[in-house]
């Protein structure tokens, strides 16, 4: 029996495409929310989960980051980068001038901000749980509406593409991570993700902590911060670096960061995506 791979459904979402790209032979399990995708592994409903973590236009998917930091012990075991085609979908003979509301997941609204401003400045933006679910929301709307979704969703749900590829920047990509009970064994071409915070703030604290990587010649691929949820102005830092947690120099650097931190959590080591920007 093929392994079960959870994703943010329904069929036709970019998350489903990521699940197919990761493992076409798996049993793909659609979930209604990102927390449900993650929880499905802990509940034994799936063996792995695929969730979006970063978009090339809108940046971090903060909902996913906060789940990994605060609410999940699952490890990142893989990553993949999926091209995103944002299309304006309608039903029947709906025309641009008819549209009073646009439905989509919050991320595509940001990815198509300029297009919507120029073409549908008066239309209401209504958030849906997923880009594919936006098609159903569009059909249930009490006013003439459109949805921002994928070409695959248009095909699956028999919607019409009124305007294709409406994203503001053509090279629109989303990075997805694969979550499971264990991360990935060392391959020699790996990335490690971890997070940490400090008990108190002082000049040079973050600089000196990052020095644990620099003095060992480790390339820092990405750094960002999220509120630590304890007080305003306090943050959790998230880092992606080149290398595996079992590499001797990476292990030493991680221990150095851990010794300077209040909270420290390794999110996983995993092979870099073939089309990763860190190449």
**Active-site positions?**
174, 176
First to last CA, the chain: 35
CB atoms within 10 A of CB 56: 17
> How many C-beta atoms surround the C-beta of residue 36 within 10 A?
18
| CA dist list (Å): 100 to 43, 138, 145, 277 | 41, 11, 6, 38
CA 210 to CA 257: how far, in whole Å? Answer: 8
Minimal CA–CA distance to 130: which of 107, 146, 110?
107
What distance in Å separates the CA atoms of residue 182 and residue 47, rounded to the nearest whole number?
11
CA-to-CA distance for 111 and 221, rounded, in angstroms? 23
CB neighbour class for 274 (10 Å; exposed up to 12, middle 13-18, buried from 19): exposed
């Amino acid at each position: 029996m093929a392994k079960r791979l959870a994703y943010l459904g329904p069929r036709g979402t970019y998350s489903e495409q990521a699940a197919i790209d990761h493992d076409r032979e798996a049993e793909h399990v659609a979930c209604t929310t990102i927390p449900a995708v993650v929880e499905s592994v802990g509940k034994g409903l799936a063996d792995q989960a695929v969730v979006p973590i970063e978009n090339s236009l809108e940046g971090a998917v903060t909902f996913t980051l906060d789940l990994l930091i605060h609410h999940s012990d699952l490890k990142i075991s893989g990553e993949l980068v999926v091209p995103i085609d944002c299309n304006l979908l309608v039903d029947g003979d709906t025309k641009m001038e008819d549209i009073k509301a646009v439905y989509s997941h919050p991320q595509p609204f940001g990815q198509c901000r300029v297009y919507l401003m120029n073409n549908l400045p008066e239309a209401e933006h209504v958030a849906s749980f997923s880009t594919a679910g936006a098609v159903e929301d569009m059909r249930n709307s009490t006013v003439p509406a459109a949805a921002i979704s994928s070409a695959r969703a248009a095909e699956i749900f028999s919607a019409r593409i009124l305007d294709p590829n409406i994203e503001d920047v053509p090279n629109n990509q989303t990075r997805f991570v694969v979550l499971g009970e264990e991360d990935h064994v060392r391959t020699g071409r790996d990335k490690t993700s971890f997070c940490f915070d400090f008990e108190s703030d002082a000049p040079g604290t973050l600089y000196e902590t990052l020095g644990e990587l620099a003095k060992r010649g480790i390339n820092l691929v990405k750094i960002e911060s999220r509120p630590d949820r304890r007080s305003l102005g306090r943050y959790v830092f998230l880092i992606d670096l080149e290398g595996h947690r079992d590499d001797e120099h990476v292990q030493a650097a991680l221990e150095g960061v851990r010794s300077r931190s209040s909270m420290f959590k390794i999110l996983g080591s995993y092979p870099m995506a073939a089309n990763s920007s860190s190449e």
